[in-house]
Homo-oligomer: A and B are copies of this chain.
Amino acid sequence: MTKTPPRGFPKSEFQARTQAAQTQMAAEELDGILLTTEPEIRYFSGFYTAFWQSPTRPWFLFVPATGDPIAIIPAIGADLMKATWISDIRTWDAPNPGDDGISLLTDLLSPLRKIGIPMGHETHIRMPLSDYQCLFSNLPNITTSDATPIIRKLRMVKSPAEIEKITHICGIISQTFDRLPEFIHVNQPLEQVFREFRREALRLGADDIPYLVGGAGPGGYRDVISPPTEKPLQNNDLLMLDTGATWDGYFCDFDRNFAIGPPGEEVRRAHETLWQATEKGMDAARPGATCAEVFNYINQYLNGNQPTTANVGRMGHGLGMQLTEWPSIAPWDHTVLEENMVLTLEPSLNLADGLMMVHEENILITSGAPKLLTRRTPRDLPVIR
């Protein structure tokens, strides 16, 4: 496992992110970008708290065309925001359904002409729609445009410090999977398997495990986003755990399969096919290739082999501050890969009887072959006896 990296980022990193956004904003003649979602506000400010679990209060960060970002936030977050590099912090006593930041935003934005707001794929506006409508009815002279391309372009390419955090959590969870045969056993309810996985991941240094899904069943599993049942693990089961754990706000996202007792021929063959498909993905994932090309290269291999590709919509995606980020390894995504993108490769197969099998690794795009951030799953399906 890697040495624990430092938490947080130097101020210079937030300044560089802000300046890179401002360069793009200038090209579109934007007066600023208004942000309402956790990853975006954290990306530019460093504001990091689990308090986003509460849907009650909206939070805003405005990245102006020049100068530092401005936080417009509930008073309860003022002290934590003061600990970031942000100095212009405007607060109100939230919650206040009559005026949850709308007057402050109106004052800030009313001199402006054109602002960007992320409103495209994989985004949403985290504030009540009626407040959003009220805000822009206060601002009849402002036009809005979609800032998704600006944010997407920035966030897709990771800094060395970001890569270090993702690498660290990938290492912790790789070790947790390696140790799995030591803390699970036949006849253990799946719910308990999940619980022990979380406990071990925490022991090994994960901050949290917000995402843990999977399944187990004879010869395969039926869906890949389920919470665990109380059904005990049994001989002949194929067990899959897919996990997104975090360290300092950065995710890993990968899964592992385990056979409970010696696996059948179909399962062994599917595992080999998925393992090879991931090799194909790693062969294709080079700077200059598009996501669609990587998808097609994996898909071509799968179509020449096993049953049909399972219908999960894509074969991988970006990874970082969120479990899934732009881009998508999908036929419709023509994003050109660049050095320092972090991606998942995630081929999947349909087995007989509506069952399926998935496999996932996390990689870093480099100037040459991609670097595996996860410890490569063994080519032979691991067996728990």
Contact = CB atoms under 8 A, between A and B. Distances in A.
A368 interface: no
A96 B129 contact: no
Contact of A122 (B55, B224, B328): B55
A122 B51 contact: no
A93 B311 contact: yes
A53 B244 contact: yes
B119 A123 contact: no
A97 to B, nearest CB: 4
A237 interface: no
Interface string A207-220: 11111110000000
Q: How large is the interface on A (under 10, 10 to 19, 20 to 34, 35 or more residues)?
A: 35 or more
Interface in A39-59: 48-51, 53-57
Nearest to A146: B130
A117 B128 CA distance: 11
Contacts of A93: 311, 313
- Chain B CB count within 10 A is highest, among A121, A148, A203, for A121
A94 interface: yes
Interface string A138-149: 000000001010
A195 interface: yes
Secondary structure at the A interface, as helix, strand, loop or mixed, is loop
Contacts of A148: 128
Interface in A166-222: 195, 198-199, 202-203, 207-213, 222
A332 B126 contact: no
Contacts of A94: 313
A18 to B, nearest CB: 22
Interface string A55-98: 11100000000000000001111111000000000000111111
B121 A124 contact: no
A291 to B, nearest CB: 12
A49 B210 contact: no
A175 to B, nearest CB: 15
A145 to B, nearest CB: 10
Interface in A318-333: 322-324, 328, 330, 332
A369 interface: no
Contacts of A96: 313, 332
Copies of this chain, tallied across the complex: 2
Contacts of A95: 121-122, 313-314, 328, 330
B130 A119 contact: yes
A50 B225 CA distance: 7
Interface in A87-134: 93-98, 100, 117, 119-130, 133
Nearest to A38: B55
Given A96-B332, A127-B124, A311-B75, A323 B54 contact: yes
A12 interface: no
Interface of A: 7, 48-51, 53-57, 74-80, 93-98, 100, 117, 119-130, 133, 146, 148, 195, 198-199, 202-203, 207-213, 222-227, 230, 244, 311-314, 317, 322-324, 328, 330, 332, 354
26 contacts: A49-B225, A50-B211, A50-B225, A51-B211, A53-B211, A55-B122, A55-B123, A56-B121, A56-B324, A74-B313, A80-B223, A80-B226, A95-B328, A96-B313, A96-B332, A97-B120, A119-B129, A119-B130, A121-B128, A123-B129, A124-B127, A195-B202, A198-B202, A199-B202, A199-B203, A202-B202
